[in-house]
Amino acid sequence: MTQSSTPSRASVGLRSERGPVLGSLMLGTALIALDATILATAVPSVVNTLGGFSQFPWLFSIYVLAQAVSVPIYGKLSDQIGRKPIMMFGIGLFVVGSILCGLATSMPMLIIFRAVQGLGAGAIGPMAMTIIGDIYTVAERAKVQGYTASVWGISSVVGPTLGGVFTDFVSWRAIFLINIPVGILAGWMLYRHFHESVKITKHKIDFAGAGALTVGASLIILGLLEGGVLWSWLSLPSVLIFVVGAAVLVAFLIIERRAAEPVLPSWAFSRRIFDGVYITAMAVGVLTLGLSSYVPIFVQDVLGSSALIAGFALAGQSIGWPLAASQSGRIYLRIGFRNTALIGGAFALVGSLSLLLLGPGSTPLQVGISCAVVGLGLGLTTSPTLVAAQSVVGWEQRGVITATNMFARSMGSALGTAVFGAIANATIGRSGATTGHGATASGVPRPVLNEAIGNVFVASVVVSAIMIAAILVIPRKINTTD
């Protein structure tokens, strides 16, 4: 590429008004962060209006699917035509999807329109992180990414409450329509204040690779999300989905070897630092969504607390994460990326181990403290590893690296939900538990549920240990391009 087609920070960051740009990125992040949590409390009202109780899990599954499979494609395109058009497209698509969701008249329609939202979210998430990498230095980056992480933390607390308020006092449709002014404001601020000098040249778009990645990853994530739910793990549909998904991904690898401009180029997996960062991101995804799924059940059905108290207990993780992320920059500038991430891994391991001490006699406060320690660990891990990976490549490669990192985390989230669910279901199945005397709201006797979730917590300890091992793969000394 020529110099004009590979912008430096001088041609991107210094020509942009960084304050308003950061504001637009945080608003964009708020769009996808709120939609990840705000719908949960509105599900009963949605089902009451549209019907389709058996279909409602797809409202979440299809969103994850669309977001995960589109992330690498957007990352590659952003390295070819620039970040701004991809981010603007993502915001616009998300707003259109939100309008359609608000107007849906049936559950299948709402599911399809949630997929449109997910495709928009797939552009917004990685582009926000990539633009931060473009306009801020290594010294500034973790602190700024801590701000965006705080958006996720606040949203995880505010989202369910806001969803309940809209549902009770306005309409569940307002959950989607509120995205319209937020999206318009985010898009306007970005369009007005973010500037990048990119020479648009003719590229060969890897449509075959993009298609194979989309189909293969969709089938694998679908199998992970719905295995043991819509069908048993060893049933013909489950086996067929995984076999076909794996075959398509093998075909994807073959296509990428021959593509002139592959969606996921081989160089993105050719260095120790990238491999360590991707595996770490997957572990973060497992812990984040896995614990988010089972901690509230533990607090409500094992400890006997309310849904509101369960939300506050889980909020410990959401609060600890952005607090640690915002301070990680100061730490890694002193002791390095890997050492900072190792400290985070240690916190995550200690927090996971403390979950093993919980039982029917524990308090929600103890659960909240354990979640906060895990959150501190994730905050000290995610920012240093992502910044490290971004810092060893130039502008023309940063989009792919950032998107691949987020793709790995999304795959980890799907994997965590599936594996933790399989562990819990296997424990309950072995016990032969049935609804009856002493059963919780979920229909499982409290001792059995306590054992099942305890095994999930054991799995979180294993994942934390794997995360530490992955961090050790990252080189101790990293030469940055900044």
pLDDT single digits (tens) 143-194: 787 677 778 767 766 776 677 778 778 888 988 998 999 999 999 999 988 8
- Whether residue 268 is predicted with pLDDT greater than 80 in this model: the reply is no
Give me 397's structure tokens: 């490669």
Predicted pLDDT at 206: 79
pLDDT, mean over the chain: 81
Predicted pLDDT at 13: 47
Predicted pLDDT at 199: 64
Predicted pLDDT at 184: 95
pLDDT single digits (tens) 102-159: 999 998 899 899 999 999 999 998 898 888 888 888 777 767 876 777 787 677 667 7
Predicted pLDDT at 6: 47
pTM equals 0.75
Lowest mean pLDDT among 117-126, 304-313, 470-479: 304-313
Lowest mean pLDDT among 43-52, 207-216, 429-438: 429-438
pLDDT single digits (tens) 397-436: 788 888 888 888 877 877 777 778 778 777 877 766 554 4
